[in-house]
Amino acid sequence: METMTNELTVIPGTIGMMDGMGMLKPEFIEDAVIVSEEEQEEHPNFIESNTSGITLEELERNCIVPSFSDNQLTISHQTFIHRIEDAARSYFTGENLGNTEIRVSHKILGRVPSALTKRKEELKPEDETIYYQRMAFCFHIRTMSRMMNGEEVHLCIGGVRSLNEENLYNRKSPEKFKIFIGWRVRVCSNLMLTNDGLTGRLEVMSDTDIYNSALRLFQDFNPEHNLRLLENLGRTKISQEQFCQIIGRLRLYQVLPVSQLRELPKVILGDSNINAATKNYVDNPNFGLRGRENISCWDLMQLLNDAAKQSYIDKFLERNQNCTDFAVGIQKALNGEDTENYGWFLS
């Protein structure tokens, strides 16, 4: 684990990435900021829902690794994390990686063989085994920090593993993972994921496959395009009447017949997400109205992203990316570029 210091880190506004990813042009980036190491560690969780925090050491020390019916081990959560970290260090050579944040849910309890006949109240800690069915993690690259629409953002990398997607009662088969790279807003830890920053269904047989897949994702990700796309969302305003129309259409969307849904853009946010976004429209100190007459499409995306943080780990990344697609689509509809698809949410 890295130790926190009180030293100040100067983050230049025009640091470039490795060759092949393109340099970040200064016209899309605001001035440099000075951020203390202490402040970098104090931020909200990147996902909430029913998750709890855990350290990498606790995963390695306290959790067993499930196996398939042929007794071949699954790829452990900690191995998954290590391979993504290795790929990031290899690709972003010389960059400073932040501490890895890990969130877990759905604890699975078991017993060691010697405790099979004991009553529950007789069990001692050494008699019990645990592992977590679902795990999400992320870390940011400290030297890749920018200002976007008045907020500090970090380049962030991470992944998700859900063992409920594996059939552990069969012989070993390709295991499923999700990997992402994108920008994260520091003040609220909202991720902003786009299609080119998410591997939604990665099936692998070994941890080497994970490493290679992460490298390919990093190579395909275009940070300059993402910065320009997300920054541009702040230039399109949404009135209160338009926001109410969008929320009303999102509620209607939930009950439309399948034949009509096929004609509309895909929205995978649930009722609870929409309710949370509506409440945050008034209450959120960073992206809500705050006495303003209008919000922007950037604010809309953040309100939806914040609501998506209440999703289960296995649904989180897809909903987060869907929030970005939706905000971009609404912007196009407002600008007259897409009146048939996302225009439905404003009509």
Listed in sequence order, the residues at least 6 apart from 40 whose beta carbon sits closer than 8 Å to its beta carbon are: 9, 98, 142, 186
Give the model's pLDDT for residue 42.
55
Instruction: Please name every residue paired with 182 in a beta bridge, in sequence order, or none if there are none.
Output: 156
Give the model's pLDDT for residue 340.
85
Give the model's pLDDT for residue 79.
98
Give the model's pLDDT for residue 290.
87
Give the model's pLDDT for residue 263.
94
9's enclosing H/E stretch is strand 8-11
Measured distance CA(289)–CA(299) in Å, rounded:
9
Measured distance CA(181)–CA(307) in Å, rounded:
20
**CA-to-CA dists, residue 38 to 151, 225, 317, angstroms:** 18, 30, 28
Measured distance CA(47)–CA(322) in Å, rounded:
16
CA-nearest of 190, 204, 2, 183 to 84 is 204
CA 176 to chain centre: 17
- Domain limits of the chain? 8-226, 236-346
Give the model's pLDDT for residue 224.
83
Measured distance CA(204)–CA(159) in Å, rounded:
14
Q: State the residue for tokens 């997300």.
A: 230
Give the model's pLDDT for residue 17.
40
111's enclosing H/E stretch is strand 101-111
Give the model's pLDDT for residue 283.
93
pLDDT digits (tens, 9 = 90+) for 31-67: 333 333 444 445 689 998 889 999 999 999 999 999 9
Q: Which positions of the chain have pLDDT values less than 50?
A: 1-41
